[in-house]
Each structure stands twice: as structure tokens, then as C-alpha cells.
Structure 1
């Protein structure tokens, strides 16, 4: 008898199937299944639409400089490439050839994924986890950056936070999540890219959600860190001056002040940026740059379709549809 066909394994398999059936039918799991099915269907539709519009000559490749003073850095994995392409396309069509897109792979991008990105952005650059590690380790060498290096190694967003600033050419970093879309020319962002070349001020959307209290009590954060935290800072789209020693030393101090739980928290990197905004200054984008709500203003210039069941599907059904006038 095959080991996998042993009575014990068969019984275990049956128990797992019954457990999953109970979860779906009795414990509300059908909502998760239905949501994931809907999101997968919309994602496939948006992927097919990319190819259809490319073949029709509606969605033409966007040529971008291989190097420039402004880099658009996006952390992306295999499951988000369709969103990433739509997000980048919605921004770069307004960039007048002055922004360099760089995809940071989370380790799951395949050679086929890279070719797919290059179908729409022929000069796009990619950085892989094995590439960025020596850059960061060398730039942040020594005991003075011990906590920052450890954050880079252990936190999911550590690479997004730090590797973006290893470029020699770039003076400004536009950090862009895959779930942000731009429906018109983002004049304020383009202007802030110019400002950031000679300023330490950070630029972002205004966050409507109380994410800071999910991370930790505001008074405790500010008492431990010794600086103000910008509670309305959102890291989904940020314009940053390329970090130098001053910013790296500041983040090291903040991480040393963090509790161990804070360093491992999902919002740890956003909290670091919000603390930097409190220390160095924050430019809040106007109301036309919105976080996804159950409903958004029809005249919103840009929407960050956050990972929320009532919001994320609208990236496709509302956002992509609004960009190109096609509906799923």
C-alpha cells in the first residue's frame, strides 16, 4: 500500500474535507470563498482586457528612461501583476518620460511575469531579493544600523522601505502600491517630485482610517519615540526624497525605541514613515486623492483601493472601467 493511501492518511484527508465543508457551510466561510472567486474573476478580466486593448492599439507601450532623477518603486508579486500594470500605466502616461519604473519582486515573480510587464513598459527595471540584499547590507553596515538591517531582513515591507533608496541616480522616490489608480494628470504629485529634490518633506494621501491605534496608542508611540507621528499619513503612494544618512539614522533611532511587537507589526514601516513625516514635514495631497471607501467621489483624481472586501473589487469594476471605458 502506498504510504499516502494508508488508513490514517485517508482518515485525515476526510477529516480535513469535512472541516472545510463545515467552515464553508456553517461558519460563514462561503463569504470568503465567494469574495476570492469574485476577485479572481475580476483579475482575469482585467488581465484579458490589457491584452485586448494592446492588440487594438488603445493601450500602447510607454517608453520610460532606464535611469532618471525620479524612480517609481513598486513592490509586486506574481498574484498582483495585473493590478501593478494598470497602476503603473495610469501614472506613467502622465509622467512625460521623466519617471523610471522599478519593480521590486517579492520573490514570486516569474520570467513570464517580467516579460508581461515589459510588454507595456519596455524599459522597466527589476530588482530581485537576492540583488538588493548586498546593496542594503553594504550601505547600512556597522553597529549604528543594526536594527535597520534586521528590519530589512525580517519585515515583509523592509525591502520596500529601504531598497528603494539604494539607487545612485535617483533623487526622488515615488513609492506606489499596486492598488492605486490615477484617472487624470496628478499635477500635485509631479510638482512634489520637483520639491522633493531639495526638501526632506514627505508627500502622501490623507488616510481616513485610524490605522495608528491598530499599531499602538499614539501617546505611547510619541513618548517612546520622542517625536510626533502623522496619524493621517498613508503609505500607498508616497513621494520621498531619496534617503540619506540623516533619514537612516532617524529610522534606526525609531526602531530602537519600538517595542519588539511594534517591529513585527504589519504597519511598522508605515509608522516609520509617519514618524518621519512628523519629524521632517508632511505635504498632504488634496481631497481629490482619496482612499477607497464604500463609495468615492466621482471626480476623484486618484483612488487607493485598499485591501478591504468592499473596496478592493472596485479597483477592477470601477477603477479600470473608468480608465478605459470598458466594464466586466
Structure 2
């Protein structure tokens, strides 16, 4: 039986069916029914380059969700900031769909990114950074975004965020602060007290790196390498990236700041007239499809991109 499962896992259709069974077949059907409506909308024109960039990381399971996230962002914000899509596990068919909807987007090939970033690590003698990057795909948001960018500011948007109003605090060209969403729970690899004790940095208790607008020069590769010598940072390697983001911004001259409460991160339902956007974290994230998409689908912004 184990051998059969090992063989079947090599087939994409088997993986999709297993995921649908875990989600529940009815829930999966309902999700697909509304999820695919975005595929019938108009392409979005973005600039080829600029001082502010949008950078995103996605994979096969989330690429359609990403189209919802980005089209809700661009239609509510009315900006054309250049778009960079980092491949976290996409098929060629997924890339074709993404480029249809965002024809000017830059697709960052995973193998090409690995080569460039690893060369950067080797040239700058950063073995701990290289090792940690290989252990967690989310670290693309920590290293690749900055190493491969020449912009002054970077906006990061996760695939499971829907925008309902113009997000002024993250799109203004006059922003100086480093803004992050406030997380729904504590998710660092060290306590804030231990971070202050070990690194002399004061950070907010709960940042979420799913949505941020930060200065490019918060990135300090040598400083990250020094921090990674502290083994406590690996106590939960899945959130070390988020911890380091908070530390980098706290170390920066403009500090680390939380977006206001109407930029929401939550796994439970609930929207108000003041809600600018909502991040629906989790593997299945049912309210992304039951609440977020339906609200945006009924909006004038969605009508503006409908065919």
C-alpha cells in the first residue's frame, strides 16, 4: 500500500483528488465554482518598472487565488505598479494563465532565482542564510524579493488577501514607514523579550509578512547572517522568516509599524464598511471563498474588470 501511494503521489491528478477529499467534495465544488469566475475578467496593465514594486510568491494551489488578490488590489488602488511573480511551484499552464491576466508581469523562474540568490550568498560568504533559505519557501520574501529588486520600496501581497477599498497606507508614494499587517496570533521563533535581550531590538508582538510595504534598504544581508548564529531563531523554522522581517524593520531608521485594524488578518468571518482588505490564512481558507470573493464580486471594482 505504501509503495502504491508513493507511485500515485507522482501524478498531479491524484494529489488534486486527495486535496479535494480532505477539503470535502461539496466544499471543493463550491470553491471551484466561484474561484474560476476571475478567469473571465479583463487583463490588467501594469508598468514594466518603477520605484515601487509589487512582489508576490505563489504556487499551483494558489495561483487562481492570486489573480483574485491582485485584481482586487489593482482595481481598488488604481495604480499600475510593476508586478513580479515569484514561482513557488507553478506549471507552465499556470504561468500562461497568469501572463494572460497580467501581460506585463515579470515571472521569476525558481531555478533562475536559486542560481542568482545562491551566487549572492557565496560571493558574500553567507552560509547560514543559504542553508535556511533551502529549508523554507517563504524565505523568498526575505531574500529573493530584495536581492532581485532595484526599486526603492517593495509591496508584498499574499495570494489569500482580498481588497475591498483603496489601500492608501500601502500605495502612497509618500510613505516612509515600514508597514506590516498585524497577525491574528503570536508567530515568531523567539519571544519579543528574548529578541530584545539578544539583539537589542523592540518589535511588535504580532506582525504578519503576508502584506507589507517596506523600504528596500531595510535589507541587510550581513546583519541577517549574524542574527542566524543564534540557534533560538530556529526553534520554529516556519516563522523564522517572519521574525527576521520584524527584526530588519525594527533595525531600520524608519522602524516597524502595524497597519490599522481595518487591514484584517483572520480565519473567522466578519467584514465592516471600513474594512480595506482581509487576509484569510490557512490551507483551505473557506471564508476567502465564502466571504471575501463574494463581497468583491458584487463590487463596482469587479464590474470594471468584467468582460
Cα separation, partners in 2 of 1:75 and 1:69, compared to 1, 3 Å: same
Cα separation, partners in 2 of 1:71 and 1:314, compared to 1, 3 Å: same
Contact 2:133 2:140 (C-alpha < 8 Å) held by counterparts: yes
Report whether the alignment pairs 1:256 with 2:229: yes
Name the CA distance, whole Å, in 2 between partners of 1:162 and 1:81: 21
Cα separation, partners in 2 of 1:219 and 1:195, compared to 1, 3 Å: same
Name the CA distance, whole Å, in 1 between partners of 2:72 and 2:60: 20
Partner of 1:277: 249
TM-score (norm 1): 0.77
Partner of 2:102: 121
Partner of 1:18: none
Contact 1:104 1:126 (C-alpha < 8 Å) held by counterparts: yes
In the TM superposition, 1:71-150 aligns within 5 A as 71-106=53-88, 108-142=89-123, 144-150=125-131
Report whether the alignment pairs 1:45 with 2:33: yes
Partner of 2:10: none
Bigger RCO (CA 8 Å, 6+ sep)? 2
Report whether the alignment pairs 1:239 with 2:182: no
- Please state whether the residue corresponding to 1:64 is helix, strand or coil: coil
Partner of 2:239: 267
Contact 2:51 2:152 (C-alpha < 8 Å) held by counterparts: yes
In structure 2, runs of 5+ residues without a counterpart are 5-19, 300-307
Which of 290, 294, 312 lines up with 2:264 in the alignment?
A: 290
Contact 2:77 2:168 (C-alpha < 8 Å) held by counterparts: no
Partner of 1:208: 184
Which of 267, 285, 288 lines up with 1:315 in the alignment?
A: 288
Contact 2:129 2:225 (C-alpha < 8 Å) held by counterparts: yes
In structure 1, runs of 5+ residues without a counterpart are 1-8, 14-31
1:41 to partner: Cα distance: 2.5
Which of 182, 195, 211 lines up with 2:163 in the alignment?
A: 182
Contact 1:61 1:119 (C-alpha < 8 Å) held by counterparts: yes
Higher helix proportion: 1
* Higher Rg of the two aligned structures: 1
Name the CA distance, whole Å, in 2 between partners of 1:154 and 1:120: 31
Name the CA distance, whole Å, in 2 between partners of 1:36 and 1:211: 28
Contact 1:174 1:237 (C-alpha < 8 Å) held by counterparts: yes
| Corresponding residue pairs, total | 282
What do residues 185-222 of structure 1 show as CA deviations (whole Å, max 9, x unaligned)?
1111112x5424xxxx421112231223xx33333333
Contact 1:70 1:98 (C-alpha < 8 Å) held by counterparts: no
Contact 2:234 2:240 (C-alpha < 8 Å) held by counterparts: no
What do residues 77-96 of structure 1 show as CA deviations (whole Å, max 9, x unaligned)?
11111111100111122444
1:165 to partner: Cα distance: 1.2
Report whether the alignment pairs 1:305 with 2:280: yes
Contact 1:225 1:258 (C-alpha < 8 Å) held by counterparts: no
Moved more, 313-322 or 135-144: 135-144
Report whether the alignment pairs 1:63 with 2:37: no
- Please state whether the residue corresponding to 1:74 is helix, strand or coil: strand
1:313 to partner: Cα distance: 0.7
